[in-house]
Amino acid sequence: MSTTPQVFSIQHFCVHDGPGIRSVVFLKGCPLRCSWCQNPESWLLDSELGHKRRRCIECGACVKTCPTGAMKAPGKWSLETCDRCFRCVAGCPSGALTRFGEPRTADSVHAELAKEFALYRQSGGGVTFSGGEASLFPEYVVSLLGPLQAGGIHVAMETCGLFRFKSLRPVDELLADDDAWHAFSSQVLWQAVGGLDLVLFDLKLMNRARHREHCGADSEHIHDNFRLLAALMHAGRGPRLWPRLPLVPGITDDEENIRAVARFVREAGLDSITLLPYHNLGVEKFEWLQQRGTFSAAMLPESQVRQARHIVESEDLRCFEPGEEDYGPMISI
């Protein structure tokens, strides 16, 4: 895996991705294919061409600019013959054509983030790595994690939870055996994940078959990772862990799944969860990428969100929506 990922966005002044006011760094590449994904431009590791039809003025500049003939008509190109030179993007006068993903060095990202440090400190905020799946690039995360935390900046990661540690042993053995802990903690993936201040961990579906159907991968390893991070947090060896449940109409929002997620979280020794109500902003993005989305639904009415919250709270968990969370003291380690 390249240590320099494609960054497809850095968003500032965010308040739903951890405590305080934050900047969110979005990296391309994800091991899941959730049917309701709101960032399908994050799936592939490579940069991609997108066409925002509403901005297109049908001028034909992209067709004239394309050196391979892949652009057949304004906003219509051959995925097979496009070499992603992105000359069409540079020549598009309306900004309809967009490049998703550019390689950014850690130094360049740090320099952009540094402009916001005073705001992070004042608001109790920081930086959140997202995607895609940022844990695909542990070396890159580590190269930013050290300088950020050395400057007193709080660092979080949003994750789907599908990553694989090496030298993994039962938690009791890891904690009791210095050699086992050294072997585990010296790997770069743990340095990236374990060195964070906060992990925002999405739990989508507890049923493994349904998870495979709707997310494209089994959930067993994801749930194992959640249990591991919870145990290491309780032992004082890992970052703060905060679960989140995306509420997707007809997929994750049924009472059986909500209760199963809540009980799983409680059994791991945690007392809080955030509900992430579905929004349909990702539907149009599939069109931008010349892909066919497989899911579309109206946003959940507030009454259904309240009902989901009631179910969670009946399982003795504190329940929040994005931006409401009571994270407590969040001090950079």
Residue 172 reports pLDDT greater than 60:
yes
Task: State residue 291's pLDDT score.
Answer: 87
Average pLDDT estimate for 178-192: 95
The pLDDT value given to residue 3: 63
Q: Residue 288 belongs to what H/E stretch? A: helix 283-288
pLDDT at 294: 78
pTM (two decimals): 0.94
Q: Model confidence at 330, in pLDDT bands (50, 70, 90)?
A: very low
Sheet holding 102-103, edge to edge: 102-103, 6-14, 22-27, 126-130, 154-159, 198-202, 240-247, 272-277, 318-320
Write out the CATH class of domain 6-46+103-250: alpha beta
Among the listed ranges 193-197, 237-241, 276-280, which one has the minimum average pLDDT value? 276-280
Task: Please compute the mean of the pLDDT values over residues 239-248 and round it to a whole number.
Answer: 97
In whole angstroms, give the CA distance from residue 11 to residue 14.
Answer: 7
Is the pLDDT at 129 greater than 70? The verdict is yes
Give me the architecture of the 48-100 domain, per CATH: 2-Layer Sandwich (3.30)
What's the gap between Cα 65 and its chain centre? 34
Q: What's the token pair of residue 97?
A: 């054509």
- Per the listing, tokens 């955030």 go with 274
Domain boundaries, the chain: 6-46+103-250, 48-100
On the question of pLDDT at 329 being above 70, the answer is no
Share of the chain above pLDDT 90, in %: 88
pLDDT for the residue numbered 325: 94
What is the structure's pLDDT at 277? 95
What residues does 274 pair with on adjacent strands? 244, 320
Q: What is the pLDDT of residue 31?
A: 97
